[in-house]
């Protein structure tokens, strides 16, 4: 009997329609090895601004759906651009909704970065994810300098990363850390 597919939930820190982070997540989804399924979250931009008074019985339905998707995932993939040396506010807001909940502690997470810059944001992101008790898998980290490139150059870089096995290798490292 074939084991169930490993389900990964991908969180994109950018709301831009043609975001380099989203392009990298889409490429990872297409390059996923057999037995790995990736779903990209489309809820982050619709989450209300976090307010601790709205937790518990007052938690908005969309937050409950978001948290349920995170809980159902075997692992997470995070791709986030740097805005003014930090995470975009909407993405940090999504993480804030998960801080006091039970869905994320010890869940493995892979960081995918679509820029040659952004090291300050990556440090901040790692600090926040670690503080939330997520388990960052450093061997799965993937970085492609897609930001600022033309659509054609971006597509070529993503195809090269797929063909070389870079994307699948990162996902395999994440899967191995989960035990599958």
**Given pLDDT bands bounded at 50, 70 and 90, which one contains residue 17?**
confident
- What is the total count of domains within the chain? 1
> Contact at 8 Å (CB) between 179 and 162?
no
Which CATH number covers residue 154? 3.40.50.360
Q: Which pair of structure tokens corresponds to residue 65?
A: 């759906």
pLDDT score of 1 more than 70: no
pTM higher than 0.85: yes
pLDDT score of 83 more than 90: yes
**Given pLDDT bands bounded at 50, 70 and 90, which one contains residue 42?**
very high
**Given pLDDT bands bounded at 50, 70 and 90, which one contains residue 2?**
low
Question: Looking at the domain assignment, is residue 128 inside a domain?
Answer: yes
> Contact at 8 Å (CB) between 174 and 38?
no
Overall average pLDDT of the 29-47 stretch: 96
pLDDT score of 180 more than 70: no
Question: Looking at the domain assignment, is residue 166 inside a domain?
Answer: yes
pLDDT score of 168 more than 70: yes
Overall average pLDDT of the 77-90 stretch: 95
Question: Looking at the domain assignment, is residue 160 inside a domain?
Answer: yes
Question: Looking at the domain assignment, is residue 97 inside a domain?
Answer: yes
Neighbours of 129 (CB within 10 A): 19
- Parent domain of 51: 6-178
Q: Which pair of structure tokens corresponds to residue 110?
A: 């892979």
Question: Looking at the domain assignment, is residue 93 inside a domain?
Answer: yes
pLDDT digit string, tens, across residues 85-128: 999 999 999 999 999 999 999 999 999 999 999 999 999 999 99
Query: Which residue has 């297409």 as its token pair?
Result: 30
Overall average pLDDT of the 133-162 stretch: 97
Q: Which pair of structure tokens corresponds to residue 98?
A: 């998960």
Neighbours of 180 (CB within 10 A): 15
> Contact at 8 Å (CB) between 148 and 18?
no
Question: Looking at the domain assignment, is residue 1 inside a domain?
Answer: no
């Amino acid at each position: 009997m074939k084991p169930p597919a490993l389900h990964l939930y991908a969180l994109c820190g950018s709301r831009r329609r043609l975001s380099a982070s989203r392009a990298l997540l889409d490429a990872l989804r297409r390059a996923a090895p057999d037995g790995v399924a990736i779903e990209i979250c489309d809820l982050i931009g619709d989450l209300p601004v976090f307010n601790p008074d709205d937790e518990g019985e007052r938690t908005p339905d969309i937050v409950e759906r978001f948290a349920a998707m995170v809980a159902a995932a075997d692992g997470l993939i995070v791709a986030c651009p740097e805005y003014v040396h930090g995470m975009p506010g909407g993405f940090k807001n999504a993480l804030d909704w998960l801080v006091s909940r039970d869905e994320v502690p010890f869940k493995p997470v892979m960081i995918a970065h679509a820029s040659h810059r952004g090291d300050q944001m990556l440090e901040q992101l790692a600090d926040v994810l670690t503080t939330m008790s997520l388990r960052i898998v450093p061997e799965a980290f993937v970085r492609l300098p897609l930001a600022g490139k033309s659509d054609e150059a971006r597509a070529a870089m993503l195809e090269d990363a797929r063909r070389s096995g870079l994307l699948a290798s990162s996902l395999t490292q994440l899967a191995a850390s989960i035990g599958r």
